[in-house]
């Protein structure tokens, strides 16, 4: 007869071991979040701070995020934007380049790289970055607009003017194709407004900027653009003589209003003065 007592015994041992292991797992606290999850929480905190214009604080959050998840292209892109907001343009270039190294098809990071290079005066490199963004998305109106500005800054105004016309044409095309989305796209109208301004069509620019501000009243680009366009309109019309002048102490010095006096009033005033003088002489001699 075959002896199976040993087999039964091993099964019993395995069962006991399994129960012990299950108990250990149930009693052990849940493991900490993964590095990717931790990074995501810091990105969310950074986004909240950016919305409050607390750029230095946001920069710290994004910096921590990339420390936890160094292969997160979105985190590097956001860190670059925070560097831009705090005026650290070379640091921004480095961050955007890291985002692109991780994801070469990240069109937004290419556009942002172009912006940071342009701020450093490296216009030719900026144009190359905008071209890479446009290679990924040929309808990237922002990248096209910024390419035009870099061309203008580098002295190629003719090419820049053609690009601004293309920006307006593509913006109008987007409105026709996707009217339901266009009414919520403040950036689209801001890009169009800036193209109008660059072409010297300031009244059309103001209209576009105001449309953008109706969608997003807090969009700084649109607010600044509208102010600049309106100033240009006033300058073209000719400014009236100001009512007040500014003193060296930055205070206000009212300009006296000179009222013209007729010749009859002048003679009357002289005769009255002569009468007063004669009267005083007579009193003195008496």
pLDDT in tens, 45-99: 999 999 999 999 999 999 999 999 999 999 999 999 999 999 999 999 999 999 9
Write down how long the chain is: 286
At CA 227, angle to CA 226 and CA 233, rounded to 5? Answer: 90
Interstrand relation of 244-246 and 252-254 (parallel, antiparallel or unpaired): antiparallel
User: Which of 218, 221, 182 lies closest to 205, judged by CA?
Assistant: 221
User: Which of 191, 137, 135, 185 lies closest to 163, judged by CA?
Assistant: 191
The pLDDT-based confidence of 239 (bands split at 50, 70, 90) is low
Q: Where are the alpha helices (DSSP H) in 154-262?
A: 157-177, 179-182, 186-198, 202-215, 220-237
CB contact at 8 A, 194 and 145? yes
CATH of range 35-137; options 2.40.30.10, 2.60.120.10, 1.25.40.10, 3.40.720.10: 1.25.40.10
pTM metric for this prediction: 0.70
Domain residue spans of the chain: 35-137, 139-239
Mean pLDDT of all residues in the chain? 80
3-state secondary structure (DSSP) of residue 244: strand
* Span 130-151, average pLDDT: 96
**pLDDT at res. 8:** 39
Is residue 179 scored above 60 in pLDDT? Answer: yes
The pLDDT-based confidence of 158 (bands split at 50, 70, 90) is very high
CB contact at 8 A, 35 and 61? no
* Span 100-129, average pLDDT: 97
Q: Let me know if domain 139-239 sits in CATH 3.40.50.12780.
A: no
| C-alpha to C-alpha distance for 59 and 125, rounded to whole angstroms | 25
* Span 241-254, average pLDDT: 33
The pLDDT-based confidence of 33 (bands split at 50, 70, 90) is confident
- Quick check: do 35-137 and 139-239 share a fold? yes
The pLDDT-based confidence of 123 (bands split at 50, 70, 90) is very high
Higher-scoring residue by pLDDT: 239, 273: 239
* Range among 140-154, 234-248, 271-285 with highest mean pLDDT value: 140-154
Q: Look at 28-42, 209-223, 248-262 and tell me which has the smallest mean pLDDT.
A: 248-262
Question: Residue 276 is encoded by which pair of tokens?
Answer: 């007063």
* Span 32-48, average pLDDT: 89
Is residue 277 scored above 70 in pLDDT? Answer: no
């Amino acid at each position: 007869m075959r002896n199976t007592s040993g087999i039964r015994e091993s099964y019993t041992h395995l069962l006991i071991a399994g129960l012990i292991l299950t108990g250990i797992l149930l009693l052990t606290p849940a493991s900490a979040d993964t590095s990717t999850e931790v990074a995501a929480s810091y990105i969310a905190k950074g986004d909240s701070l950016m919305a409050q214009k607390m750029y230095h604080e946001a920069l710290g959050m994004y910096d921590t995020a990339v420390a936890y998840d160094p292969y997160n292209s979105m985190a590097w892109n956001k860190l670059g934007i925070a560097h831009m907001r705090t005026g650290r343009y070379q640091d921004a270039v480095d961050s955007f380049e890291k985002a692109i190294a991780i994801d070469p098809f990240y069109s937004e990071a290419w556009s942002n790289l172009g912006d940071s290079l342009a701020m450093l005066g490296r216009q030719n490199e900026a144009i190359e970055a905008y071209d890479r963004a446009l290679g990924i998305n040929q309808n990237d109106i922002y990248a096209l607009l910024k390419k035009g500005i870099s061309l203008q800054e580098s002295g190629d105004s003719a090419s820049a003017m053609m690009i601004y016309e293309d920006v307006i044409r593509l913006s109008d095309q987007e409105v026709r194709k996707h009217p339901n989305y266009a009414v919520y796209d403040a950036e689209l109208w801001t890009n169009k407004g800036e193209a109008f301004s660059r072409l010297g069509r300031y009244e059309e620019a103001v209209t576009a900027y105001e449309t953008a501000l109706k969608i997003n009243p807090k969009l700084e680009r649109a607010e600044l653009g509208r102010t600049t366009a309106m100033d240009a309109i006033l300058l073209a019309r000719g400014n009236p003589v100001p009512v007040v002048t500014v003193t060296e102490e930055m205070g206000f010095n009212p300009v006296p209003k000179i009222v013209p006096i007729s010749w009859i009033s002048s003679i009357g005033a002289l005769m009255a003065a002569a009468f007063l003088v004669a009267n005083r002489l007579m009193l003195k001699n008496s």
